[in-house]
Structure 1
Amino acid sequence: MIHQKLPNNWQEREKLRDKGQFWTPEWVTKAMISYIVKDTDLVFDPAAGKGAFLNALLQINPSINYYGIDIDKYVLEDEIYQKNSCFVELRDFIKNPPQKKFNAIIANPPYIRHHRIDEKMKQFLKELFIKITGFTIDGRAGYHIYFFVQALNLLDKNGRLAFIMPADTCEGIFAQKLWQWITKNYCLECVVTFHENATPFPKVDTNAIIFFIKKSEPVQIIKWIKANEANEELFNFVKSDFKDTNYITLEINNRELKEGLATGLSRPKQNHCDFKYHLNDFAKVMRGIATGANDFFFLTTQQVQELAIPEEFLKLAIGRTKDVTGDKLTIEDIKKLEENNRPTILLSINSNDNISESVANYLEEGEKLGLPDRPLIKQRKLWYKIEYREVPPILFAYLGRRNSRFIKNEAGVVPLTSFLCIYPIYDDELYIANLCEALNDPETIKNLRLVGKSYGSGAIKVEPRNLDKVPIPEHIVDKYNLSRQKYKTKSQQLELF
């Protein structure tokens, strides 16, 4: 579930992350409750928590009964659950759901990312998803996705569901397949997004989105809302059955479902026909190097000297986006990092031939640490042979809040997975410089939101296959001469001599 106040203590925060517990503010719960209480005498909450939705229900219509379940017995001991119209029980909604349908379902489901789910549970979730939908979903779907689908499966005919979810519900690699199934079998009435200044969860690194869904015939036009301030206007709008539209802080749009699914329901409406050029017309994108153990493979100059590792086994590298402060990375920048004892050197071994004694000794230490058994590393034929990457002329910060996310790699480093590698189709230095300028143009940067996954405080994460698709405005392409075939690759230039 995505409590108004999160603990400052890191360990306590991590416990919440493992359970996926983040509580919903009242101005949001009241709006969600107002949607589902029509024509029902019972509200079902499969992730009851400390009773945020029950509190809203008691304010709006205390005569309606409330049934809540949760796997955390401590939250169910809250005083709010001592009401006569309320019944709660300790129950696992995924493994042991109620054996009945409901007319009104509401939840802020546990927000647990896929890497926090163990393999046994992942297999269970996979089988559950197939049982309900008839198809598989990508394994990178978080726990909240399965919670969502389980709840939809328990929705009775003409019943209503209100769920608040992270934006990746619409942006993940699984999203298109998921929403095609949902909108074929259910009626998606309204989607509510939030401006970063009105986010319901300001201390959680994700953007929230609310879905209002009925178990009825699908519609082709939906309401798409952006809440720009945290106030009662959202409640009033939902209470009106989405009919009243005269609000100051709400952006209210009628939107074609087909376009919304193509763009992503978390993103504003787009006219996809407007985009003639995309990044993959001018460059190839690859992710940075995944070592599987940065603390072992990514070294400081002091460590390299102490270990006496020969130069042929080393490559200049960059690991953290915060280590790059501008839109250029130079050798001077690398030297400053070295002076601050930041790692800048990657241990890169191409084979098991001619390994020096010092490297062999270091690898032996890695084996004692159990590195060959780490999930990513044990997939390699030689556990210490990491991925190879040509030096990319341009880097892209994988997850960032800065306006300039494209970095001209003048230092000649190879990046780790905090960056994506961008390889322009031409090696000409002028072309590379122009492409970098075009990518950092505010209009291009703005388009990252069309292909990226949005997080809290305006952060965007763009996967390699999605960065390929970022649109570059046609006039920007013309401004920087990107479409003119006058540039020669280095190999073509050599052929002239």
Structure 2
Amino acid sequence: MNEVEQKRKLMQDALDALKTQKERNSMGQFSTPYPLALEIMRYMRNLLKKKDVSFIEPSIGTGVFYSAFLNEFAESTKRVLGFEIDSHYYNPTKKFWKETPLELRQANFLDQEPDDLFDMLVANPPYVRHHHIDSDKKVQLQEKVLKKYGIKISGLAGLYCYFMILSSAWLNENGLSCWLVPSEFMDVNYGTAVKKFLLHNVELVHIHRFNANDLQFADALVSSCIVVFRNRKPQKSSKIKFSIGGTINKPNEIRLIDGSNLKAESKWTSLFQGNVVNLESQVTLGSFFTVKRGIATGDNDFFIVDKETIEKYEIPHIFLRPVLPSPRYIEGNCISSENGNPVVSHPQFLFSCNLPEAIIKKNYPKVWEYIKFGIEKGVPKGYICSHRNPWYSCEDREPAAIVIPYMGRSESQNKMFRFILNKSKAITTNVYLLLYPKPEYAYCLKNVSLLNEIWQKLNSIATETLCQNGRFYGGGLHKMEPKELMRTPANEISTLLEPKSNGQLSLFATA
């Protein structure tokens, strides 16, 4: 690290320290580590092979990529343009780089129209989630993407998706664009628009994914990837490089895939593995089960109660339902039952009541005290509770015989994704996914031996197979949504189950 970069890093750290984590989260301000910026710039230099390079950076921050650019392109600089919207970073950055060729503008890159075209763009765009984007601004950006590229982008897309797509208007023909972005776009539904753009509007060159345990940003809980594309239409029979692990210049594994075989609607994380399977031709868990998230209470601290709270407020059993504790408190993969309640070390219950306040005040004064306690805490003002009537009445849900935690970590003592046999009548909160057999297979719930076989087959599904369908985050964190679990191959389950038209059985019929 040279002296200039050392000074820039000190400035970066000082400016970051003056902002709260919440402020930086809302604006997606996470600086790129300099070694990674330098690695990326060296990759671009080898790929570009051009003198007199013009470079644009749409979210420059304090200029870590510019610092790396000067290190690698010092003798080849034609023009450099950077944008920074936040005066907190803009003013110090402008002063710091004033003796260099950098032209810096305080403006929102997405609001600007090109006044020149550039050879190269490298960016770590703001990681701003959709709920932090102003609704009017979101509509404006959606219309802009639709008008320019004919792509309809979801309202759930993060700001970085708009940056990636709209940036190509600033590039020369054959200009190179490189993005350090969350890898989640390759799997989530809103990422379909980005993948359409990469497959049909530009020539996708390379996607490098870091290992899930290799967190690129210590203060941003996302897994990262590098996306590189040329500003030209895809060439026939062009091969796209997918690499994983190591660095973009020296990855641990590389696969070359024909772009014509890729679909925007498919998950792309499996492309980094040794074997790519066509899930559309396989029997999946969704063939046999409907998968749902557990209930969202709106405030677990209030609605999930223990025996001490029940006794204190004299909450009758008619307002209570047994609920499974957090997965980290469950040892093993089987929940025994005692009078319908799960046999666990710390029993918990869901509090839910649909009686009017007047009746509760009259007939259950101690329960009314508890409800008043919730009001004082502001529970009714939460989004979920504010949309319920009454706010203290939770969703009525049937228990599931088989449940699975929806997230797991690779370093956990338990298997990352484990299927738990629930012999009790306990329901779950939304930290679990619940497997409900489809009507034609519901007969398995009354056959103890068959249900056990199904449970064992589910736990024999390789962790890698489950992870291919889920989502990767930083620090070894993996998540699974209901539709993703339903896409998991389940050929072995098909050997155990045959559809029966009269299988309309109650889901409570566990042994």
Measured against the shorter chain, the TM-score band is 0.7 to 0.9
Other-structure match for 1:44 = 56
Distance in 1 between residues matched to 2:17 and 2:454, nearest whole Å? 44
Displacement of 1:278 after TM fit? 0.7
Other-structure match for 2:3 = none
Of 332, 336, 353, the residue aligned with 1:326 is 332
Number of residue equivalences: 466
State yes or no: 1:363 paired with 2:368. no
Distance in 2 between residues matched to 1:316 and 1:309, nearest whole Å? 13
Displacement of 1:267 after TM fit? 3.0
Displacement of 1:279 after TM fit? 0.6
Distance in 1 between residues matched to 2:114 and 2:309, nearest whole Å? 57
Stretches of structure 2 that go unaligned for 5 or more consecutive residues are 1-8, 410-414, 507-511
The equivalences for 1:239-278 within 5 A come to 249-261=251-263, 263-268=266-271, 270-272=276-278, 276-278=282-284
Q: For 1:315, what is the secondary structure of its paired residue?
A: strand
Displacement of 1:313 after TM fit? 0.8
State yes or no: 1:459 paired with 2:468. no
Distance in 1 between residues matched to 2:368 and 2:38, nearest whole Å? 63
Other-structure match for 2:188 = 172
Contact 1:141 1:172 in 2 (8 A): no
State yes or no: 1:409 paired with 2:422. yes
Contact 1:431 1:487 in 2 (8 A): no
Contact 2:408 2:417 in 1 (8 A): no
Distance in 2 between residues matched to 1:326 and 1:127, nearest whole Å? 51
Displacement of 1:48 after TM fit? 0.8
Contact 2:243 2:254 in 1 (8 A): yes
State yes or no: 1:162 paired with 2:178. yes
Identity rate, percent: 24
Other-structure match for 1:337 = 346
Displacement of 1:203 after TM fit? 5.5
Q: For 1:174, what is the secondary structure of its paired residue?
A: helix
Distance in 1 between residues matched to 2:138 and 2:106, nearest whole Å? 22
Displacement of 1:228 after TM fit? 2.5
Distance in 1 between residues matched to 2:220 and 2:31, nearest whole Å? 10
State yes or no: 1:222 paired with 2:239. yes
Of 368, 371, 390, the residue aligned with 2:398 is 390
Contact 1:16 1:22 in 2 (8 A): yes
Displacement of 1:329 after TM fit? 3.5
TM-score scaled by length of structure 2: 0.80
Stretches of structure 1 that go unaligned for 5 or more consecutive residues are 236-246, 339-343, 493-497
Cα separation, partners in 2 of 1:138 and 1:217, compared to 1, 3 Å: closer
Distance in 2 between residues matched to 1:125 and 1:468, nearest whole Å? 33
Distance in 2 between residues matched to 1:181 and 1:286, nearest whole Å? 31
Other-structure match for 2:454 = 435
Contact 2:176 2:230 in 1 (8 A): yes
Contact 2:470 2:480 in 1 (8 A): yes
Contact 1:202 1:457 in 2 (8 A): no
Contact 1:399 1:459 in 2 (8 A): yes
After superposition, give the CA deviation of every residue in 1:361-389 in whole Å (9 maximum; x if it has no partner): 44344445554443233333433322221
Contact 2:404 2:417 in 1 (8 A): no
Distance in 2 between residues matched to 1:379 and 1:35, nearest whole Å? 51
Residue 222 of structure 1 aligns to which amino acid in structure 2?
K
Displacement of 1:446 after TM fit? 1.7
Distance in 1 between residues matched to 2:486 and 2:13, nearest whole Å? 37
Displacement of 1:390 after TM fit? 0.5
Distance in 2 between residues matched to 1:176 and 1:131, nearest whole Å? 17
Distance in 1 between residues matched to 2:134 and 2:325, nearest whole Å? 27
Displacement of 1:477 after TM fit? 3.4
Runs of 4+ in 1 over 6 A off after TM superposition: 3-11
Contact 2:127 2:159 in 1 (8 A): yes
Of 170, 181, 186, the residue aligned with 2:197 is 181
The equivalences for 1:46-65 within 5 A come to 46-62=58-74, 63-64=76-77, 65=79
